[in-house]
Each structure stands twice: as C-alpha cells, then as structure tokens.
Amino acid sequence: MKQHKENPMLDKNGIAKRIAQEVRDGWYVNLGIGIPTLVANFIPAGMEVEFQSENGILGMGPFPLEGDEDADLINAGKQTITAMPGAVYFDSATSFAMIRGRHVQLTVLGAMEVAQNGDIANWKIPGKMVKGMGGAMDLVASAENIIVAMMHTNRAGASKLLPSCSLPLTGVGCVKRVVTNLAVMDIKDGAFHLVERAPGVTVEDIAAATAGKLVIPENVPEMNIG
C-alpha cells in the first residue's frame, strides 16, 4: 500500500468533499476535529444546515477574519470561529442533551480503528500519554448516523479497518459508514460493504488495504466528487 501513502487517491479535502454529499437539507451536524472539520467547506450554497460544536454553539460559521477573533468564541477544537445569523450559544449540559437526545442528525468523526461490527477506537493508545475522550464517547453512543472520516491505513501502512479493534474502544457497534482515501463502505451484518471507490482506485487496492471482512458487490462505482 506504499503507493497510497505517498500518493493518496483522495486527500483530506477529497474525503471531506465526499462526506459533504451525505449531508441533507434541514440537518444539524456535529463535526469532529481534523478531516471532519473540513466537511463544512463543501456544503452546497443555499443548503439549510447548521453545525453544532459541543462546547456550546449551533450555527457555527467559518474562521474569523484576521483581527476579528474573539477569545470567547471557539469550537470544540479550541479554534477561534464565527457565528452565523441565527446562531445560538448554550451550556455543555444542553449541548449534550442535543447529542444524547438525538436532535443532531449526523456526527462525523475521525478514528484510529474501526471494526467490521461497527466498533470504533479513537481516544487512547496504551503506553502513550492519554489525553482523554472529550465528547467522542457521548457522540458515538447516541448519534443515529455516524460517519467516520479517516485514512484507510495508518502511518505504518497497516489497515485501520479491522475484524475487531485492538485499541481501547470509544463506542460499540455504532459506526454506520466509513469514508477513507480509498473508498466508501457501509457497516452491516458484521462486515464492511464496499459502496464506492475513490477515483483511480481498484477494488483489489481496497481489498488489500482492508483487514476486516469486506463484501464486494458486482458493481462498485467510482465516487463522483467533481
């Protein structure tokens, strides 16, 4: 898989672009730190979507212009942000009531490992400094629609799509869809089901990079991400 590491078929923006196609009019969406944050850049103009950040804002806007940053207005990644017209601020308990109470339609987050049964690990590597799970456990335990955005393999070239997670879990049986630099896959019935290929990537490439059980339908279309 060396070629993909050096020349990934989709870069981080490509993954974000593909995930943006999953967003529907009228949805409230929580985007995690990293690739998920980029999804906001690819929402079609005119679509009615509000971004929630779990530190207490609905209606999050883009980064502020130089000089307009406000220490009191940040996202969950502690980055300075802006608020859109119609935005609202709230406390952390209310924020997680939105999440746990399933008022947020889509959660997009990164992962270190995803298992074929939908388990996700993204907060702790034994033997390394543990920084904490933040809001990830609450998000994955409750959201009905969880999409994981990540690279198909880790820096050592090993698959991140596994028969079962080796790292401590963040949540069990919760991931529904995974979008990587190589493919879109759905998780059901204890397997990864290949849905789409990234441009220029073959089914064989994907199979070689997937350690978990992979179900390959007869026709696997290429992603259309313009």
Active site residues: 54
Residue with tokens 């998000």: 139
53 touches other proteins (CB under 8 A): yes
**Distance (Å, whole) CA 107 – CA 52:** 10
Question: Quick one: which of 26, 41, 47, 62 contacts other proteins (CB under 8 A)?
Answer: 62
Q: Which stretch binds other proteins (CB under 8 A): 40-48, 73-81, 181-189, 198-206?
A: 73-81
133 touches other proteins (CB under 8 A): yes
Region of 138 (left: φ > 0; alpha: ψ -120 to 50; beta: rest) is: alpha
- Find the Cα–Cα–Cα–Cα dihedral 144, 145, 148, 149, rounded to 10°: -150
Q: Which stretch binds other proteins (CB under 8 A): 19-27, 138-146, 181-189, 190-198?
A: 138-146
**Is the Cβ of residue 144 or residue 222 nearer to other proteins in the bound state?**
144
- 58 - beta bridge partners? 52, 88
Question: Quick one: which of 1, 73, 195, 208 contacts other proteins (CB under 8 A)?
Answer: 73
SS3 labels along 174-223: CCCEEECCCEEEEEECCEEEEEEECCCCCHHHHHHHCCCCEECCCCCCEC
Question: Quick one: which of 34, 64, 110, 190 contacts other proteins (CB under 8 A)?
Answer: 64
**Is the Cβ of residue 3 or residue 65 nearer to other proteins in the bound state?**
65
**Distance (Å, whole) CA 15 – CA 89:** 29
Give the number of residues in contact with other proteins, rule: CB under 8 A: 53
Q: Which stretch binds other proteins (CB under 8 A): 19-27, 48-56, 191-199, 218-226?
A: 48-56
Looking at residue 39, the DSSP 8-state letter turns out to be G
Minimum Å gap between C-beta 53 and other proteins is 8
Binding site for other proteins (CB under 8 A): 53-57, 62-81, 83, 89-93, 95-96, 99-100, 119, 129-138, 141-142, 168-172
